[in-house]
A and B are shown apart, each in its own frame.
Chain A
Amino acid sequence: MDKILEVKNLRLYYHTSKGAVRALDDVSFDLYKGETLGLVGESGCGKTTTGVALIKMPSPPGRIEEGSHIIVDGRDIMPLPDRDIRKNVRWEQVAMVFQGAMNCLTPVYTIGKQMLETLQEHRQMDKVQAEELIKEYLGLVGLPTEVMGRYPHELSGGMKQRIVIATALFLKPKLVILDEPTTALDVIVQAQIINLLKKLKKTFDLSFIFITHDLSLEAEVSDRICVMYAGKIAELGTNQQIYGDQGPMHPYTEKLLQATPLLRKKVDTLSYIPGTPPDLIDPPKGCRFHPRCHKVIDKCRTEEPPLLEVEPGHMVACWRCGS
């Protein structure tokens, strides 16, 4: 399988007056064509930051540091100037559905006009052609064409999210990053959207990066899962390796799964992880998770564990999970 995305040593720091917030600190992973990679973690872990970094849009004072490489379809986009990225990479090769995007549809323009604007920004098309394309994609996401004449406030959350997905797809990108695409939606609508995404992925042979904090959702969506904590990858493995019977290897992932309530099984006590995520300006020495880890040993407090392959395709950054 070929790689559609290679991320090497990605570092993104926010340079504030109090110091550099190390939001992403040496993150590396690959994405293969046609697969869904899940980025999962809690608030502040860096999953959303990874998403915006991949389209080179860190919000100031954030900056992607020297030494980071983002290779999209064989080409490193780090040295490219912004003009080039805007024209050829963003939306053309890599599209992103931002968190809460459905609430960012401009309330004063119709859906049709907004989608038209995006399309005409990238392609030389006359209005008729463009509208035909829009109608096609609206149909693909299961929306009637009359939606084009509506305003965002007239539509439900699920419909708006479908529009945002259609807008992300109609330039035929190879990779779509989805940041919490279903968080604000009801659970039935969420299931419908997830079904839609799976269908579209098959139809267009897309690759997804699916970002969410919901571990249960990740299990049903992603082929491989990347668990992030405090700006670093804790564990990266296949769906089977993380959610299968033998369980994940990193203590954080383990505890996180134990903290996830199950619907179809009665659980007597739910696990939780004491403490709070660390300060990213001055993270703990050694392993960043050690203050909250139930398996901590002395080495964890002083030396930072590297991300090592413990079995084929399964990477863990933990001293207790040696190979």
Chain B
Amino acid sequence: MSINDNDIILEIKDLKKHFAPHQSLTQTLTGKNRKVVRAVDGISFGIRRGEIFGLIGESGSGKTTTGKLVMKLIEPTSGSIVFNGEDVTVTDKERTHAYRRQVQMIFQDPYASMNPRFKIKDVLEEPLIIHKIQGDHNEHERMIIKALNEVKLNPPEEFMGRYPHMLSGGQRQRVATARTLILNPLMLVADEPVSMIDLSTRAEILHMMKDVQRDLGLTYLYITHDLSTARYFTDRIAVMYLGRIVELGPADMIIDDPKHPYTKALIDAVPEPKTGKVDIIKELPISGEIPSPANIPPGCRFHTRCPYAKPECSAEAEPELIDIGGGHFQACRRYKEI
């Protein structure tokens, strides 16, 4: 399915999510500054219809929170979400309910995302019941079988009567995918869908997801920390650091030619199944650990760990994404010098 550059199905503009955790009594009384956790701090990107868009980040980057914002499981602090041409930043109950039919989610833990007391049949019937899809239980059964066939769980009838704990991790993730498909959504948000699955089955699941996407014309937002699978699976990626996007562009371009120091550090750190590296102490110019999202460094938030940091990086305002051609954007003002 060819991707039209101008057909944007999901447009995120300057999206922010700040959490204000509970204060103790003394904090309220003394009026001390509340620690605000700026999990997502102003991100903007657009996903084209029919593409697989990867959101890469380590823990604390805000990628999971972004996923939840797109799913409308949490409300944004500011910014806008435009889906299919419609502003869905703030929606009433009815519109939110309808939104759920269009945007669905696959979770990381294939076992925990299903009620262990539901049979597979019940797991798959649930969305039909929630959205009051017409039909008696026979018609529902037909829809369930169709969804199971789509994710290649054969024979479907045999799986319907089983419980989640009787299935392998890969099979459960197929069921989770089937569950999202049964409502014919437009977009799927997948949060680390294969990280808890064995390596030998991982590719199988990703294959299945790619086939499903092609057959049904879906769009994916693929959230992960694993750059390697992201390269294999996605069309474009956005690299997040501490709540902001530092680099965005076609997957191959970003990985073969990274511009932002953080992206470079990330790529250098990933191990490879090649011989001859056992005695090598890897060069890691990056120092320290990721700061807490409650204490974001001023200026360019990466400057505390950046090997190329200069005084102006912390003094000046936060850098925005710079277009460097070919659909490649990055947020380091000094990129030409590094």
Contact A191 B200, CB 8 Å, known A216-B271, A217-B271 = no
Do B275 and A187 have beta carbons less than 8 Å apart?
no
What residues on A are CB-neighbors of B289 within 8 Å? 156, 158-159, 189
What are 9 pairs between A and B in contact, CB < 8 Å? A158-B289, A186-B290, A189-B289, A191-B282, A199-B281, A219-B274, A270-B207, A273-B200, A274-B204
B18 interface residue (CB < 8 Å to A):
no
| Interface size grouping (class) on chain B | 35 or more
State which of B206, B225, B280 has its C-beta within 8 Å of the C-beta of A270: B206
| Interface size grouping (class) on chain A | 35 or more
Beta-carbon contacts of B168-208 to A below 8 Å, as 1s and 0s?
Answer: 11100000000000000000000000000011111110110
**Given A156-B289, A186-B59, A272-B202, 20 other A-B contacts at CB below 8 A?**
A157-B59, A195-B284, A198-B279, A198-B281, A216-B272, A216-B273, A220-B278, A221-B278, A239-B275, A239-B278, A260-B228, A261-B231, A261-B232, A264-B255, A264-B256, A264-B272, A267-B232, A270-B202, A272-B204, A272-B207
What residues on A are CB-neighbors of B284 within 8 Å? 188, 191-192, 195
What residues on B are CB-neighbors of A220 within 8 Å? 271-272, 277-278, 280, 282
Beta-carbon contacts of B249-291 to A below 8 Å, as 1s and 0s?
Answer: 0001001100000000111111111111111111010100110
State which of A240, A255, A263 has its C-beta within 8 Å of the C-beta of B200: A255
Chain B residue with the shortest CB-CB distance to A155: B289
Q: Give the docked Cα–Cα distance between A320 and B315 (Å).
A: 65
B15 interface residue (CB < 8 Å to A):
no
A116 interface residue (CB < 8 Å to B):
no
Contact A42 B198, CB 8 Å, known A244-B275, A263-B255 = yes
What residues on B are CB-neighbors of A266 within 8 Å? 231, 252
Instruction: Kindly provide the distance from the CB of B14 to the nearest chain A CB, expressed in whole angstroms.
Output: 26
Instruction: Kindly provide the distance from the CB of B331 to the nearest chain A CB, expressed in whole angstroms.
Output: 18
B58 interface residue (CB < 8 Å to A):
yes
A68 interface residue (CB < 8 Å to B):
no
Contact A240 B269, CB 8 Å, known A188-B58, A270-B232 = no
Chain B residue with the shortest CB-CB distance to A218: B273
Do A42 and B278 have beta carbons less than 8 Å apart?
no
Do A223 and B278 have beta carbons less than 8 Å apart?
yes
A262 interface residue (CB < 8 Å to B):
yes
State which of A187, A243, A276 has its C-beta within 8 Å of the C-beta of B273: A243
What residues on B are CB-neighbors of A43 within 8 Å? 169, 198
Do A262 and B58 have beta carbons less than 8 Å apart?
no
Q: Give the docked Cα–Cα distance between A277 and B268 (Å).
A: 33
What residues on B are CB-neighbors of A256 within 8 Å? 199-200
Instruction: Kindly provide the distance from the CB of A23 to the nearest chain B CB, expressed in whole angstroms.
Output: 17
B304 interface residue (CB < 8 Å to A):
no
What residues on A are CB-neighbors of B255 within 8 Å? 263-264
B151 interface residue (CB < 8 Å to A):
no
Q: Give the docked Cα–Cα distance between A222 and B273 (Å).
A: 11
What residues on A are CB-neighbors of B275 within 8 Å? 219, 239-240, 242-244
What 7 A-B pairs come out closest when comparing CB atoms? Answer: A270-B203, A186-B58, A272-B203, A191-B269, A273-B200, A243-B275, A272-B204
A66 interface residue (CB < 8 Å to B):
no
A213 interface residue (CB < 8 Å to B):
yes
Q: Give the docked Cα–Cα distance between A273 and B207 (Å).
A: 12
B47 interface residue (CB < 8 Å to A):
no
Do B272 and A219 have beta carbons less than 8 Å apart?
yes
Instruction: Kindly provide the distance from the CB of A260 to the nearest chain B CB, expressed in whole angstroms.
Output: 5
What residues on A are CB-neighbors of B269 within 8 Å? 187-188, 190-191
State which of A216, A257, A263, A272 has its C-beta within 8 Å of the C-beta of B201: A272
A215 interface residue (CB < 8 Å to B):
yes
Instruction: Kindly provide the distance from the CB of B310 to the nearest chain A CB, expressed in whole angstroms.
Output: 21
A105 interface residue (CB < 8 Å to B):
no
Q: Give the docked Cα–Cα distance between A261 and B273 (Å).
A: 9
A207 interface residue (CB < 8 Å to B):
no
